[in-house]
Amino acid sequence: MGLRPLRLRDVRVWRDSRLRNADWLRPWEPSNPETPLFRTGLGPYIAMAGTLRREARQGLALPWVVTYEGAFAGQLTVGAIVWGSARSAQIGYWVDSALAGRGIIPTAVAMAVDHCFFTTGLHRVEANIRPENQASRRVVEKLGFREEGVRRRHLHIDGAWRDHICYALTVEDAPRGLLARWRARESAARGGPSHEEV
């Protein structure tokens, strides 16, 4: 499992994955009120990738491809980065439905958060998730994000403005790193030794 920068040459595999997973993603994926989310052309990916790469150069986003066994498995983006006294960001992610349940996304989120805290210098990362999205909520809950309340009509999703639960984590919540804590938890769940911080 790994993370790598989003590339323009990912266009075909990204499009194929999105089309194959359209029903899986539609209830949770942010949409634009004026345009459809899923199209068969390459244009939406090229536009999205161009925007994210431009925001990355400006220090406003960290767009990654999630890989599993070297192949494209999904996408993770740290966006809405705010500097100054806030030093905060929001994280969003999706995984191919064929790979769900393998611990890929919790591992990817832990890696991304550690990068945000210990390399980029952010202080806080939020994940805003629809209340009905139990799988995505389990990801952040397993990683120790705290629930901070409901954001009413926060994002346009699947044709309407939807409420989201705000989860957050600060660098003080994982001083030794989120990935180490996640791996210790997984090791303990498999019956191995655990040095997870309390």
SS3 sequence, 138-169? Answer: HHHHHCCCEEEEEEEEEEEECCEEEEEEEEEE
Beta strands in 27-159 (DSSP E): 62-68, 71-82, 88-95, 124-129, 146-157
- Count CB atoms within 10 A of the CB of residue 49: 18
**Rounded Cα gap, residues 58 and 52, in angstroms:** 10
User: What residues form DSSP beta bridges with 150?
Assistant: 165
- Sort residue 144 into left (φ over 0), alpha (ψ -120 to 50) or beta: left
Q: What is the pLDDT of residue 52?
A: 87
Per-10-residue mean pLDDT, the chain, length 198 = 89 87 82 53 77 92 95 96 98 95 96 98 97 95 97 90 97 95 88 50
Q: What is the pLDDT of residue 193?
A: 55
CA separation, residue 138 to residues 47, 61, 86, 135 (Å): 31, 24, 26, 5
**Cβ atoms of 155 and 162 closer than 8 Å:** yes
